[in-house]
């Protein structure tokens, strides 16, 4: 206690602090620049990623379209009358309003805020227009929002009114068709050639005529009103909606005519639903977990219910869209974190090297100060004040720039850089000052010298073992647990405790790789020296001797190898993601264009395919029946894979002529099955439930199940991993003819050929998918970050090379000068300098990219890159050799430039000064 | 001792400018050194000893004056000529030894011979001889880090002698050694002068070391103390 009380505060000598700062302004500025640059990257990247996450959520929901709507259905109250007929319910529109209000109140505040005001839609059955012309269908629809339905202007006639004026009407079940009034859009009315008062000749599926009358013709006030999206036929005729060659028309019901619509069709044929469309711009990453959870809860409350039960039945794909967005963001966050950890590791190493250089420059000054009686704590305090000011100022500048460039700033990642910048210099400086006041003489006793060497080696081995153990633990964690499961719900690129070890795997791997080379390089240098000693060329001996002398310097090699390997990894990640997006588009679409034919038009698929095949520029057309979540039984389990029934020969040709992975096993599908009555199938599953040898059963209605035998591994189809592929002819032979619903088209004319087919179908173009994927916020953000990280790491590597050369320059030119006192010519001295500098750089130029490729192979899998590229499986690392070559060339060019520059700088120094400085 | 001086220094001036201040490190220094003698150059720190040695060895150029070594005007030589001079006639021993750490003692000694492209057999014979001379024949394969400070300086001396120079310049060769080891190193230099016939100019500020020299040249503020020039060598009985 007394000692603590009597301990004095460090006495700072401010003139010395200022003097050292002025004398070493260059290195200090360099350190500050590195800290500022990395703080900018580390401060902006997580925030930009978070912003990208918000955009990704919005983008995902936007792309999901109506699938992301929250939809709630409920049955109507029964309309059985007391005398055995059906009662007209005049308050049906109010019932619908109540239903809408009930649904809205069930949403909860979070979901309510993320969704547009509800829109109730009531749809009748699809009726056939019986005017004897081309196939046309008709449906009446009622739309009602909080403020009524979409606004229209009645250009002729009047809004639909009630069929009767009586309050209470009961009509027999088998009575004549109940009249109902509807309004027609101008376009529909013109196409049907009908006007107010006309009856629309329609008949239901059972062939019963319906009494639907036109009350008026309307013009929509705003045809872009989202309400119309629920029934586009209310605006204009929709071709192909109900089968090839058909056109759907629609009639608008009013509050008054809605009760008549109920009586005009069977009791259960008028369906009501309330639609809540999400507001993509209102969605943020933070809210996704709560929203998804709320949607799941609503769906869970639906349960099964009887036909007459009026409870709410919720349907939505919003939770799935949000879950997918979360998975993609978690993947992007961890991928970004891995890259940032690499950049930070390299930065810390460069800062250590810069501190080393600074202290080498300052050693004489610090030694002199120590010899004048300056206490170590005083010197340490002076140095730490200087480095803290430099580091904090630089970090503040970097973070301020990050704040200007991004919508926020994250300081977490900048902490290690600031700490390294603030502590490395003072630590090295204090050690140098301490050494200056120590007896530096070599012990005369050989045992003492051996002890010193052994102690140093043991210390180094302990550090290396610690790094190795940490790296092994990181890789084991990365591979056993992966990154996604340990990512927290709020993961947005900020480093959380459970992520530190697996996220550090890459950086630790690079360090271990560097340490391996650090062990091997001295051995190689000594071997080269032994060979050189056998030669008669003195320059070879001196070069090899110099190289062997410096081969064991840890920090420069750690910086060079780590930065080169990490830059190579970043380039590989960027290239893999870029290629993955292209492959993902192929995988998602399966061809240049894909047509997903609507269920009502499936029968026309073969004819459609023939028409497309005849179009100019079309190379291949393959039709298939693709059934998602098909029910397939193994011996003990029900599985729901994607069932693909396809002409395997055509499918093989498609795979062979596109970048899609080939599947030679498809040939086995046309061979006889392994057992009697078994149809061969190819299977693929992510969880291993489906594998070669598995026996499956494909159930049929009113017929025995078809037995399938898995004879090989199926390719992924449409980016889906749970797949069963069967040959169409083989299955037809077994009694199940295919009903194709998918058309894959390749060739330059594919896009034009699949447009305007006149069939209700979804057209998916590879070019569109690719374009969307390339600009997808997370994918684009990750690729940008990968290229940026590669550039920063390469710059750090080149800076490290220059710093390492500068740090060793004094010693190198001391030795060279001594050799010149033995008669070495100046030009020979340059060769010897090159002989010292180039070998580690040449080795690094080869080893670094290879190490980067190895690290990519070890870490890309757990990074779940496929979630961002849209591929079915984790992509194999793509090695951009020319980019990796550029990294090597940049290193070699810098090293080659260092020697003449250094030589030119040293030429100004007289030999006598160099020798004097070394004394 | 030959009557013709091996080293002749005439009117050498050397000034250094540090900012506005001009320091006259050497101010008209002139002296001769006969071949085969050992001369101690003494003076306080900053008196100009090292500058004088550097000018003599061609590591630095004087502002005025000439330096002749074995008849060669050192001040008129270009870089290649100076390199040749250092390879053939002048060699150095430094306070901090300056050995190449990854080379063994023998390989360090052989370095100048490699530079002079001496045949391997001749090189090995010469190295063996020199290591024998400095008493480290048993340490030929050891690296500098495995040798004591005194042993390292002996190796440095052997390396300096390897190419059979006529003039050996030693700048404070005992500065990093304890007194006893330093004395033994100086005794070695003394012995070499006698056995190899090399002329040695050694800077020191140790009185005991001075006693081993044939002559002592005192230098003070860049000028020679004429009274001290020519002081005879007085053997020290317990020196080695």
Could you give the C-alpha distances from A274 to A225, A311, A673, A774, in angstroms and in order? 16, 13, 50, 35
Please tell me the least confidently modeled range out of A20-34, A143-157, A621-635, A880-894.
A621-635
ipTM, two decimals: 0.85
Q: Calculate what percentage of chain A has a pLDDT beyond 90.
A: 25
Mean pLDDT value of segment A661-681: 83
**Which pLDDT does position A242 carry in this prediction?**
64
Tens of pLDDT, residues B137-162? 899 999 888 888 888 888 998 898 88
> A389: part of which helix (H) or strand (E)?
helix A376-405
Mean pLDDT value of segment B100-125: 89
Could you give the C-alpha distances from B148 to A154, B152, B157, B170, B185, in angstroms and in order? 111, 6, 14, 19, 12
Is a pLDDT exceeding 90 seen at residue A308? no
The reply to whether residue A824 touches residue B54, judged by beta carbons under 8 angstroms, is no
How far does CA A853 lie from the centroid of its chain?
21
**Which pLDDT does position A309 carry in this prediction?**
63
Is a pLDDT exceeding 50 seen at residue B184? yes
**Rounded Cα gap, residues A579 and A619, in angstroms:** 24
Q: Tell me the shortest Cα–Cα distance from B234 to chain A, in angstroms.
A: 30
**Which pLDDT does position A511 carry in this prediction?**
95
Q: Tell me the shortest Cα–Cα distance from A918 to chain B, in angstroms.
A: 8
Closest to A471 in 3D by CA, of A416, A516, A421, A419: A516
**Rounded Cα gap, residues A21 and A393, in angstroms:** 14
The reply to whether residue A820 touches residue B86, judged by beta carbons under 8 angstroms, is yes
Query: Would you call B104 an interface residue with chain A, using a CB distance cutoff of 8 Å?
Result: no
Per-residue DSSP letter, A495: -
The reply to whether residue A818 touches residue B98, judged by beta carbons under 8 angstroms, is yes
Q: Which is it for strands A678-684 and A723-727: parallel, antiparallel or unpaired?
A: antiparallel
Query: Would you call A918 an interface residue with chain B, using a CB distance cutoff of 8 Å?
Result: yes
Q: Mean pLDDT across chain A, nearest whole number?
A: 84
Tokens of A677: 């009555």
**Rounded Cα gap, residues A427 and A435, in angstroms:** 12
Nearest to B83 among A546, A814, A824 (CB): A824
**Strand segments (E) across A603-694:** 620-627, 632-633, 638-639, 642-646, 678-684
Q: Calculate what percentage of chain A has a pLDDT beyond 70.
A: 92
Task: Decide: A122 and A96 in contact? Cβ < 8 Å.
Answer: yes
For chain A, what's the residue count? Answer: 919
A425 CB contacts (<8 Å, ≥6 apart)?
A: A31, A355, A358, A359, A383, A386, A387
3-state secondary structure of A669: helix
- Considering only alpha carbons, which residue of chain A is nearest residue B150? A444
Is a pLDDT exceeding 60 seen at residue A516? yes
Task: Decide: A351 and A800 in contact? Cβ < 8 Å.
Answer: no
A262 CB contacts (<8 Å, ≥6 apart)?
A: A76, A79, A88, A89, A92, A270
**Which pLDDT does position A462 carry in this prediction?**
94
A427 CB contacts (<8 Å, ≥6 apart)?
A: A355
Mean pLDDT value of segment A443-456: 78
**Which pLDDT does position A886 carry in this prediction?**
93
User: What's the pLDDT band for A240 if we cut at 50, 70, 90?
Assistant: low
The reply to whether residue A823 touches residue B145, judged by beta carbons under 8 angstroms, is no
Mean pLDDT value of segment A287-301: 85
Tokens of A64: 């999901």
User: What's the pLDDT band for A138 if we cut at 50, 70, 90?
Assistant: very high
Most confidently predicted of A297-306, A821-830, B202-211: A821-830
**Rounded Cα gap, residues B1 and A161, in angstroms:** 140
**Which pLDDT does position A603 carry in this prediction?**
67
**Which pLDDT does position A7 carry in this prediction?**
59
User: What's the pLDDT band for A5 if we cut at 50, 70, 90?
Assistant: low
**Rounded Cα gap, residues A891 and A158, in angstroms:** 81
**Which pLDDT does position B99 carry in this prediction?**
87
The reply to whether residue B116 touches residue A823, judged by beta carbons under 8 angstroms, is yes
**Which pLDDT does position A62 carry in this prediction?**
83
**Rounded Cα gap, residues A555 and B124, in angstroms:** 38
To 5 degrees, how large is the angle CA B176–CA B179–CA B181?
75
Task: Decide which of A369 and B63 is more confident.
Answer: B63
Is a pLDDT exceeding 90 seen at residue A182? yes
Query: Would you call B50 an interface residue with chain A, using a CB distance cutoff of 8 Å?
Result: yes
Name the pTM for this structure: 0.80
Mean pLDDT value of segment A581-603: 81
Is a pLDDT exceeding 60 seen at residue B239? no
The reply to whether residue A919 touches residue B94, judged by beta carbons under 8 angstroms, is yes
Alpha carbons within 13 A on the beta-carbon side of A172: 3
Per-residue DSSP letter, B11: E
Task: Decide: B67 and B229 in contact? Cβ < 8 Å.
Answer: no
Q: Tell me the shortest Cα–Cα distance from B177 to chain A, in angstroms.
A: 8
Is a pLDDT exceeding 70 seen at residue A674? yes
| Chain A, chain B: beta-carbon pairs less than 8 Å apart | 99
Q: Tell me the shortest Cα–Cα distance from A450 to chain B, in angstroms.
A: 8
**Rounded Cα gap, residues A873 and A584, in angstroms:** 9
Mean pLDDT value of segment A730-734: 86
Is a pLDDT exceeding 60 seen at residue B3? no
**Rounded Cα gap, residues A614 and A435, in angstroms:** 86
Could you give the C-alpha distances from A62 to A226, A228, A569, A744, in angstroms and in order? 14, 17, 33, 25
Cβ under 8 Å to B: A residues 504-563? 526, 529, 533, 536, 538, 541-542, 545-546, 548-549
């Amino acid at each position: 206690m007394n000692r603590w009380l009597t301990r004095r505060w460090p006495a700072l000598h401010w003139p010395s602090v200022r003097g050292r700062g002025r004398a070493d302004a260059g290195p200090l500025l360099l350190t500050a620049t590195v800290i500022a640059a990395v703080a900018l990257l580390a401060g902006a990247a997580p925030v930009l990623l978070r912003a990208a996450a918000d955009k990704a959520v919005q983008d995902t929901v936007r792309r999901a379209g109506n699938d992301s709507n929250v939809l709630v259905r409920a049955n109507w109250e029964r309309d059985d009358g007391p005398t055995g007929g059906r009662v007209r319910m005049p308050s049906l529109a109010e019932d619908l309003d109540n239903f809408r209000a009930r649904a809205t109140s069930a949403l909860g505040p979070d979901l309510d805020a993320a969704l547009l005001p509800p829109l109730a839609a009531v749809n009748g059955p699809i009726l056939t227009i019986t005017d004897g012309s081309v196939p046309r269908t008709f449906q009446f629809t009622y739309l009602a929002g909080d403020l009524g339905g979409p606004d229209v202007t009645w250009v002729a006639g009047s809004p639909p009114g009630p069929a009767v004026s009586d309050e209470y009407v009961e009509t027999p079940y088998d009575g004549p068709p109940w009249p109902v009034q509807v309004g027609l859009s101008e376009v529909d009315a013109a196409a049907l050639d009908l006007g107010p008062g006309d009856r629309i000749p329609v008949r239901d599926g059972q062939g019963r005529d319906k009494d639907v009358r036109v009350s008026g013709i309307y013009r929509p006030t705003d045809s872009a009103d989202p309400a119309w999206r629920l029934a586009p036929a209310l605006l204009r005729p929709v071709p192909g909606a109900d089968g090839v060659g058909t056109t759907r028309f629609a009639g608008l019901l009013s509050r008054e005519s809605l009760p008549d619509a109920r009586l005009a069709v069977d009791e259960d044929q008028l369906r009501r639903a309330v639609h809540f469309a999400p507001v993509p711009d209102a969605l943020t990453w933070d809210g996704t977990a709560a929203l998804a959870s709320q949607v799941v809860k609503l769906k869970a409350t639906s349960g099964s219910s009887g036909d007459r039960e009026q409870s709410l039945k919720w349907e939505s794909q919003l939770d799935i869209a949000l879950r997918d967005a979360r998975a993609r963001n978690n993947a992007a966050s961890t991928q970004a974190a891995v890259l940032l950890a690499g950049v930070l590791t390299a930065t810390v190493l460069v800062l250590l090297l810069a501190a080393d250089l600074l202290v080498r420059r300052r050693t004489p000054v610090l030694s002199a100060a120590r010899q004048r009686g300056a206490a170590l704590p005083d010197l340490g305090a002076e140095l730490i004040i200087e480095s803290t000011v430099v580091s904090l100022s630089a970090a503040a500048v970097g973070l301020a720039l990050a704040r200007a460039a991004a919508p926020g700033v994250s300081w977490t990642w900048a902490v290690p850089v600031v700490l390294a910048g603030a502590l490395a210099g003072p630590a090295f400086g204090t050690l140098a000052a301490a050494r200056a006041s120590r007896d530096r003489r070599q012990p005369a006793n050989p045992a003492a010298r051996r002890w010193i060497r052994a102690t140093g080696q043991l210390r180094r081995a302990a550090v290396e073992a610690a790094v190795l153990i940490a790296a092994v633990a990181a890789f084991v964690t990365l591979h056993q647990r992966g990154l996604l499961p340990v990512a927290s719900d709020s993961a947005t690129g900020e480093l959380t405790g459970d992520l530190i070890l697996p996220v550090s795997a890459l950086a630790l791997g690079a360090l271990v790789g560097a340490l391996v080379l650090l062990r091997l390089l001295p051995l190689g240098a000594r071997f080269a020296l032994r060979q050189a000693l056998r030669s008669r060329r003195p320059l070879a001996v001196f070069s090899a001797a110099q190289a062997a002398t410096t081969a064991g310097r840890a920090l420069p090699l750690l910086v060079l190898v780590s930065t080169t390997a990490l830059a190579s990894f970043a380039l590989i990640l960027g290239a893999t993601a870029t290629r993955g997006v292209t492959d993902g588009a192929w995988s998602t679409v399966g061809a240049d264009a894909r047509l997903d034919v609507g269920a009502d038009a499936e029968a026309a698929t073969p004819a459609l395919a023939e028409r497309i095949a005849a179009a100019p520029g079309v190379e291949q057309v393959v039709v298939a029946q693709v059934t998602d979540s098909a029910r397939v039984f193994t011996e003990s389990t029900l599985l729901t894979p994607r069932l693909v029934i396809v002409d395997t020969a055509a499918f093989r040709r498609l795979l062979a002529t596109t970048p899609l992975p080939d599947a030679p096993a498809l040939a086995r599908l046309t061979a006889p099955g392994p057992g009697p009555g078994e149809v061969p199938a190819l299977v693929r599953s992510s969880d291993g439930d489906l594998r070669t040898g598995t026996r499956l059963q494909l159930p049929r209605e009113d017929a025995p199940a078809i037995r399938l035998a898995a004879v090989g591994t199926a390719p992924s189809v449409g980016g889906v991993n749970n797949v069963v592929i069967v040959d169409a002819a083989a299955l037809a032979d077994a009694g199940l003819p295919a009903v194709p619903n998918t058309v894959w088209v390749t060739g330059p004319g594919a896009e034009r050929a699949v447009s305007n087919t006149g069939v209700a179908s979804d057209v998916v173009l590879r070019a569109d998918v690719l374009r969307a994927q390339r600009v997808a916020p997370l994918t684009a953000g990750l690729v940008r970050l990968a290229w940026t990280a590669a550039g920063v790491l390469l710059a750090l590597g080149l800076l490290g090379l220059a710093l390492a050369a500068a740090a060793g320059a004094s010693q190198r030119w001391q030795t060279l000068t001594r050799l010149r006192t033995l008669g070495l010519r100046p030009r020979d001295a340059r060769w010897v300098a090159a002989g010292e500098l180039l070998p580690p750089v040449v080795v690094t130029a080869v080893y670094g990219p290879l190490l980067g490729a190895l690290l990519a192979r070890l870490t890309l899998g757990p990074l779940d890159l496929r979630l961002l590229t849209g591929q079915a499986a984790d992509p194999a690392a793509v090695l951009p050799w020319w980019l990796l070559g550029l990294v090597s060339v940049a290193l070699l060019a810098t090293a080659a430039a260092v020697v003449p520059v250094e030589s030119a700088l040293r030429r100004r120094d007289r030999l006598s000064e160099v020798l004097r400085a070394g004394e | 001792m030959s009557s013709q001086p091996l080293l002749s220094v005439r009117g050498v001036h050397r000034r250094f400018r540090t900012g506005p201040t001009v320091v006259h490190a050497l101010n008209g220094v002139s002296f001769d050194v006969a071949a085969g003698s050992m001369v101690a150059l003494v003076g306080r720190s900053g008196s100009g000893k090292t500058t004088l040695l550097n000018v003599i060895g061609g590591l630095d150029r004087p502002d005025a004056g000439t330096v002749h070594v074995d008849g060669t005007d050192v001040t008129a030589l270009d870089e290649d000529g100076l390199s040749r001079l250092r390879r053939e006639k002048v060699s150095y021993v430094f306070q901090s030894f300056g050995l190449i750490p990854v080379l063994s003692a023998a390989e360090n000694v052989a370095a100048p011979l490699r530079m002079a492209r001496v045949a391997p057999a001749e090189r090995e014979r010469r190295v063996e001889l020199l290591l024998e001379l400095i008493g480290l024949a048993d340490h030929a394969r050891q690296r500098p880090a495995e040798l004591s400070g005194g042993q390292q300086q002996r190796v440095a001396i052997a390396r300096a002698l390897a190419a059979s120079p006529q003039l050996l310049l030693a700048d404070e060769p005992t500065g990093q050694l304890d007194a006893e080891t330093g004395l033994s190193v100086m005794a070695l230099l003394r012995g070499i002068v006698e056995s190899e016939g090399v002329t040695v100019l050694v800077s020191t500020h140790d009185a005991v070391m001075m006693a081993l020299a044939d002559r002592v040249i005192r230098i003070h503020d860049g000028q020679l103390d004429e009274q001290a020039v020519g002081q005879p060598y007085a053997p020290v009985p317990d020196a080695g």
